[in-house]
């Protein structure tokens, strides 16, 4: 391939990566963390806030008394199927941050409790989907869709740039004094080996983020305004059971619902039944679960009439006989993005691929910064171009601010539980204060000093996660707690803090003793 063509693609790769890289770092790092969203929820939930369980056969009595005593639960309540034939029931009431749970006492009377719930895992998941871009969820998703288009261009152009030396350089990792060469080798190896994963991520985010725009254009140009109604009619989230005048609104036992689903898909394991408009005409029950043999959307689901037990929609049930090619393809698309298939091996694989993706975007910015090194010979303190100084400070502030903010807000889910009125609001405040303060600090202190100091902050914030559990284990009187089932969160955070501490030591050494014509040297200044 001609050298001038390679230069064009290299320019495209560089600038699309620079523009999209920092938002993608946040999305990939937060996405890696939320691969274990259920475990994170377990970690931030105190033992007293767990919903009381009862035998699944008693669920009809619990549901009946709950709906009679708490009409707000009719709008939507969740019956979770717990291990060993047990179940738990919970719901939320509009305008209240607590989650309410219900069970029956020994005498068969209803007991309800209000539980303070942390949404730390959900908040981090929203960061994954929107990169924390202000303006609301839809705005964030739309921006990330555009970012992913640039991401796709960066992938294509990067492969083209690397093609001439692909075989020779694929597994080359030249460690030595030439740090730029080492970072470039690592960047290329990670990018090529994880390319299929990144292609799936780029395409799926574009589809998710621009779906409303795509449908709107299709509706007007191709379908003459009829597509929206058709799509909504086929969407199980909008479906309602047929209303029969004078018909019964009594809910059939959940065991009958589970049996109907198992008859359709014997290997499918239902985990939750979400009832909507219970006791009213048009009520539905959403049955979610998992079958690791299939690529299924969020594990797979079905929609049934909770009064008759008849199916309203089974096309997203893994292996269902009435599924179709379109729903199977859609389910596979979602599953490939979220890693909701294959169990824990796939979760861990996506976790490490997400971290590798974060490294890819971070290293891309470092390579751009290093390629613009400015040396004024004879000067005591080499001066860097303003653009280089700006991008170095921004890269450090965004990446380390994101990591420190996520660690701090996760630890706050345990430390502040039961101590503040609205824990959900505190999660957002803590993350954005740490994130924005880190960016400001990086610009005030400069990239070299800022990176060392913010790495210390990141190490400390990440250590707060296992420290909170340790305090809860040894001093339960503090109100903190240790959850053995979620100990993996503490272990991973401890390993992460160790990695950040190693990076802190290496960064401080390089800033003090490395080449001072680099923006990462303590003597660097902007001109």
pLDDT, tens only, 389-445? 888 899 999 999 999 999 999 999 999 988 888 888 899 999 999 999 999 999 999
By CB atoms closer than 10 A (0-12, 13-18, 19+), residue 158 is: buried
Q: CA dist 29 to 205, 362, 387, Å?
A: 15, 11, 26
CA 275 to chain CA centroid, Å, is 26
Residue 135 or residue 381, greater confidence: 135
User: Average pLDDT in the 240-249 region?
Assistant: 66
pLDDT for 325: 58
3-state secondary structure of 318: coil
Would the pLDDT of 377 be above 50?
Answer: no
Query: What percent of the chain lies above the pLDDT cut of 70?
Result: 81
Q: What is the pLDDT of residues 443-489, one digit of tens each?
A: 999 888 999 999 999 999 999 999 999 999 999 999 899 999 899 99
User: Collapsing DSSP states into helix, strand and coil, what is residue 70?
Assistant: coil
The per-residue pLDDT for 484 is 92
Return phi, psi of residue 99, to 5°: -110, 135
Alpha helices in 163-297 (DSSP H): 166-169, 179-193, 195-209, 211-221, 227-234, 254-264
Range of lowest pLDDT (5-14, 74-83, 141-150, 228-237): 228-237
pLDDT at 287: 92
Q: What is the pTM of this model?
A: 0.85
Cross-strand partners of 92? 99
pLDDT the model gives residue 379:
55
Alpha-carbon distance of 73 to 68, in angstroms, equals 9
Highest mean pLDDT out of 61-70, 181-190, 237-246, 418-427: 61-70
Q: Where are the alpha helices (DSSP H) in 296-418?
A: 325-338, 344-371, 386-415
| 3-state secondary structure (DSSP) of residue 117 | coil
Q: Which position has the higher pLDDT, 344 or 501?
A: 501
**Top-confidence residue, 434 or 521:** 434
Phi, psi of 340 (to 5 degrees): -90, 55
- Evaluate whether 339 touches 349 at the Cβ level (below 8 Å): yes
Confidence of residue 520 (pLDDT cuts 50, 70, 90): confident
If you ran DSSP here, which 8-state letter would residue 378 be given? T
């Amino acid at each position: 391939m001609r050298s001038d063509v390679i230069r064009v693609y290299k320019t495209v790769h560089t600038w699309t990566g620079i523009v999209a890289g920092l938002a993608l770092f946040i999305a990939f790092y937060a996405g890696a963390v939320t691969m274990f969203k259920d475990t994170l929820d377990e970690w931030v939930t105190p033992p007293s806030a767990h919903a009381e369980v009862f035998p699944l056969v008693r669920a009809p009595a619990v549901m009946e008394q709950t709906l009679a005593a708490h009409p707000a639960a009719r709008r939507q309540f969740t019956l979770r199927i717990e291990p060993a034939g047990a179940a738990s029931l919970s719901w939320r009431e509009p305008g209240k941050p607590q989650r309410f749970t219900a069970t029956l006492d020994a005498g068969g009377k209803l007991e309800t409790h209000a539980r303070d719930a942390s949404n730390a895992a959900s908040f981090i998941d929203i960061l994954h989907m929107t990169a924390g871009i202000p303006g609301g969820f839809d705005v964030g998703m739309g921006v990330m869709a555009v970012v992913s288009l640039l991401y796709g261009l960066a992938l294509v152009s990067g492969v083209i740039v690397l093609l001439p030396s692909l075989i020779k350089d694929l597994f080359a990792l030249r460690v030595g004094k030439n740090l730029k060469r080492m970072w470039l080798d690592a960047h290329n190896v990670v990018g090529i080996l994880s390319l299929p994963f990144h292609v799936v991520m780029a395409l799926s985010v574009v589809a998710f983020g621009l779906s409303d725009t795509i449908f709107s254009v299709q509706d007007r140009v191709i379908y003459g305004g009829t597509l929206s109604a058709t799509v909504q009619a086929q969407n199980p989230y909008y479906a309602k059971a047929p209303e029969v005048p004078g018909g019964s609104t009594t809910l059939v036992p959940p065991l009958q619902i589970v049996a109907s689903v198992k008859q359709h898909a014997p290997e499918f394991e239902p985990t939750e039944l979400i009832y909507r408009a219970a006791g009213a005409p048009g009520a539905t029950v959403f049955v979610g679960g998992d079958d690791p043999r299939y690529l299924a959307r969020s594990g797979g689901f079905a929609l049934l009439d909770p009064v008759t037990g008849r199916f309203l929609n089974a096309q997203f049930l893994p292996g269902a006989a009435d599924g179709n090619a379109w729903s199977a393809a859609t389910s596979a698309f979602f599953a490939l993005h979220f890693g909701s298939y294959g169990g824990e091996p796939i979760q861990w694989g996506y976790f490490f691929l997400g971290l590798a993706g974060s490294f890819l975007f971070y290293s891309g910015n470092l390579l751009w910064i290093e390629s613009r090194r400015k040396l004024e010979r004879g000067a005591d303190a080499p001066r860097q171009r303003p653009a280089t100084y700006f991008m170095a400070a921004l890269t450090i502030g965004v990446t380390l601010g994101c990591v420190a903010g996520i660690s701090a807000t996760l630890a706050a889910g345990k430390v502040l539980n039961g101590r503040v009125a609205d824990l959900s609001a505190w999660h957002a405040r803590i993350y954005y204060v740490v994130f924005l303060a880190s960016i400001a600090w990086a610009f005030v202190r400069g990239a070299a000093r800022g990176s060392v100091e913010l790495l210390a902050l990141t190490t400390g914030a990440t250590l707060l996660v296992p420290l909170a559990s340790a305090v809860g284990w040894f001093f339960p009187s503090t109100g903190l707690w240790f959850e053995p089932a979620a100990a993996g969160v503490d272990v991973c955070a401890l390993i992460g803090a160790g990695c950040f501490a190693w990076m802190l030591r290496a960064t401080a050494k390089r800033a003090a003793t490395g080449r001072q014509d680099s923006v990462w040297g303590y003597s660097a200044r902007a001109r």
